[in-house]
Chains A and B, each alone.
Chain A
């Protein structure tokens, strides 16, 4: 009861506390803590934690060949098989994973909802979930991509083109990118979905709200910088390049909002390896999705396989000798 209701408030409170911490540290003037030490520490946490988690998974074997088959197997030559949902080759597996990762295909599986009665409560939760998830993840990806302009010199043409595409509507909404708006809307959707639907609230943990709120904090501070508190991009880039080359300097020409943005990003990447965000690398390792459906024509080896106690034929024959003889079945040992 407690966690159900309090999950939201606790996460919200945590994010607010974190916000005040960043403001406080900035107020005291410990810029190098916010601008150098914490980002470095976060990166170390991220890289080390990420590798640790992935290697930990990889450290456990896949003892059995257990793909979830979602299409016709390849069996007799005249039966049309499904090369993606029942992959037979590595190419099929790659396609299956790619469709899953790029388009969240499984989330769309159940969408044949019949529109029967024109009754009030009709809506399709899964389509919305899919839309929200797509909008969020793709926006995040494009935003990250846009940020490459701080990390690469010269800025690659692709990054510039994407940025240009993303800003097509800037005539209407000054200085805002499409993805900025999308990510805020989708985060709001994902958050309120958890809060409002009692079913989703039932299964949500505080950390589920926390991640969304943290991301929202990053997105909002980013948008605020776009709109009101513009940072000096050239200076930011100088700072980034210095960080990458391990000659850290403090960023010049930036204000509080920049530091809040940076602090939240640092928190997120430090939190990444110990959270459910690890679903990102995890999906590549998922044995129900990354194996071919060739279980009967390639032998899969279980590395911890050990001999087990079995009831052998000899023992069986011994136990039932009389009965076997009686009905005239052949015996190995007369």
Chain B
């Protein structure tokens, strides 16, 4: 009579054995392309349209990546070129002391627990190859000096982890030498591009933008009709007929905003807000159907492509003969405009230093680039009492503000948006200090990673952000997360739907549009979303 055998392990014992993987050195390249964690490769059609190298059908999850024959030489040559072009790269590859201060600052590491998501290791993936081929100690001591051969496995690892970094620059805030993983990731992606390893969610919008002028590929006639739709909606809500000129020569200001604003949801309501605001202050401005995109997916690909896409803005400003440019709510668009545009396609000597026609304020901080951020512009209007605002129209919302990475760590745009929010609403609550401003957590889907095939990865990466939202949601009843980034507006709603149901997402100028009391408007019964205004409900 045999009892139950002891050979079968209890389930809880099996788990602990299965789950603790051996502590393998990071130097062993090992990537698993599990569904839900990586983005699809770029479609050849779009690669070709942009003249990108080695367009082909390939799949990251398959063994054969169909790399060009001399891929290794191509990469090493590319690395040499980049080292000659970027001091940041050379320096950042040389001076890291691996102190570990950055390790737990990355939202992908915090959310995924994958140790190769520690910024220092992400950089070591590139650094190890640099050591092997470009430093004396690495050539001699090899592994002992932390040097690795460039193999296909290493390349795959680059692809996996450099398209798992949102270039948010949070780690560079905490690094004692300012080592910026964004720079490393950008260079890594430049190298991958050389052998045709791009992701479609970056290349397709870039190719669309190159052709039609915007990422969504909206042709001029659709652009015009969508504007007309918006004007009709504004009329329905306010009773006012608003104008929105397109490609109008001789306007004072050219307005540029990400294309998601005129098709996406909830971007659309911010778009209505712009139209109402410009009408109310009587701004002499124009839209452009040619430069109909503020965002720049080229930035997520290579500096060359970024420059090619960005060129349209100044070219159009020149053609239309405007005095200066106003830019809408967008994250990486503003990284490009603030830190790259003037260098890429300047000098903008055909424009004038920006002056607000309404308040007379000189925007000295933009006197060379000649492009002003809409939040700077609106904050100035409010401060000069040029807007009549009824904040109670936003009483439905308890608002918090997500500092989008690029306007934060790229520009330092912290107080302008908060100033506006304080004037257009009555209930504002900031998230904890270590999760906002320069320490803000990324939405987890920036830098071209907002696809749907990598949703799991996005949800992991966005967890630290959502977690802070959850805190103010539970503590203060916050039900609206505002932000000034088109990618945020697209990616935060699914993030919150998963982690913090009950919190919605809006742009700041949606709330401005709600609160704005326009001359000759009819009594507003709904907000811009068409939801009934609750302000007249009086409870005794």
Name B's interface SS.
helix
In the complex, what distance in Å separates the CA atom of A183 from the CA atom of B82? 39
The reply to whether A69 and B438 contact each other, CB–CB distance below 8 Å, is yes
Q: Nearest Cβ in chain B — how far from A305, in angstroms?
A: 7
Check: A1 CB closer than 8 A to any chain B CB.
Answer: yes
User: Counting CB contacts under 8 A, is A2 at the interface?
Assistant: yes
- Asked if A135 lies at the interface with its beta carbon under 8 angstroms from chain B, I say no
The one of A82, A125, A282, A283 that contacts B412, using a Cβ cutoff of 8 Å: A82
A297 to B176: give the CA distance in the assembly, Å. Answer: 27
> Is A302 part of the binding interface, using a Cβ–Cβ cutoff of 8 Å?
yes
Say whether B240 faces chain A, with CB atoms less than 8 Å apart: no
- Residues of A contacting B225 in the complex (Cβ-Cβ under 8 angstroms): 327
In angstroms, how far is the closest chain B Cβ from the Cβ of A84? 12
**Chain A interface: which of B143-151, B152-160, B258-266, B515-523?**
B143-151
B387 on the interface (CB 8 Å rule)?
A: no
Of A73, A106, A200, the residue contacting B411 (CB under 8 A) is A73
Q: 1/0 per position for B120-140, CB-CB distance to A under 8 A?
A: 110010000000000111000
Do A327 and B369 touch (CB < 8 A)? no
Contact A282 B177 (CB under 8 A): yes
Contact check, B177 vs A279: say whether CB atoms are below 8 A apart: yes
Q: Which segment of A22-30, A138-146, A306-314 sits at the interface?
A: A306-314
* A146-B174 Cα distance, complex, nearest whole Å: 32
CA distance A102 to B28 in the complex (A): 37
Residue pair A85, B438 in contact (C-beta under 8 Å): yes
A160 to B99, CA, bound (A): 34
Which of B305-313, B390-398, B423-431, B446-454 has 4 or more CB atoms under 8 Å from chain A?
B305-313
Task: Tell whether, in the assembled complex, residue A76 and residue B98 are in contact, meaning their CB atoms are under 8 Å apart.
Answer: no
Asked if B172 and A68 sit within 8 Å, CB to CB, the answer is yes
Q: Measured between alpha carbons, how far is A82 from B120 in the docked complex, in Å? A: 28
Taking CB atoms, residues of chain B closer than 8 Å to A319 are 211
Check B376 against A204 for contact (C-beta < 8 Å): no
Contact across chains for B101 and A106 when beta carbons are under 8 A apart: yes
Most chain B Cβ neighbours within 10 Å, of A53, A110, A275, A298: A110
Q: Are B383 and A203 in contact (CB under 8 A)?
A: no
Q: Provide the residues of chain A in CB contact with B289, threshold 8 Å.
A: 324, 329
CB distance from B434 to the nearest CB of A (A): 5
Please report the C-alpha to C-alpha distance between residue A309 and residue B302 in the assembled complex, in whole angstroms.
14
Q: Are A2 and B25 in contact (CB under 8 A)?
A: yes
Interface segment among A58-66, A241-249, A258-266: the answer is: A58-66
Q: Contact check, A276 vs B220: say whether CB atoms are below 8 A apart.
A: no
Q: Please determine whether B26 and A203 come into contact, CB atoms closer than 8 angstroms.
A: yes
**Highest count of chain A CB atoms <10 Å: which of B210, B364, B366:** B364
Q: CA of A324 to CA of B221 in the docked complex: distance in angstroms?
A: 6
From residue A284, how far is it (CB to closest CB) to chain B in Å? 10
In the bound complex, residues from chain B placing their C-beta under 8 Å from that of A75 are 363, 365, 376, 413, 416
Cα(A85)–Cα(B438), bound, Å? 10
Residues of A within 8 A of B (CB): 1-4, 10, 53, 56-66, 68-76, 78-82, 85-86, 100, 104, 106-107, 109-110, 112, 125-126, 129, 133, 197-200, 202-208, 274-276, 278-279, 282-283, 285-289, 293-302, 304-305, 308-313, 316-317, 319-320, 323-324, 326-327, 329-330, 332
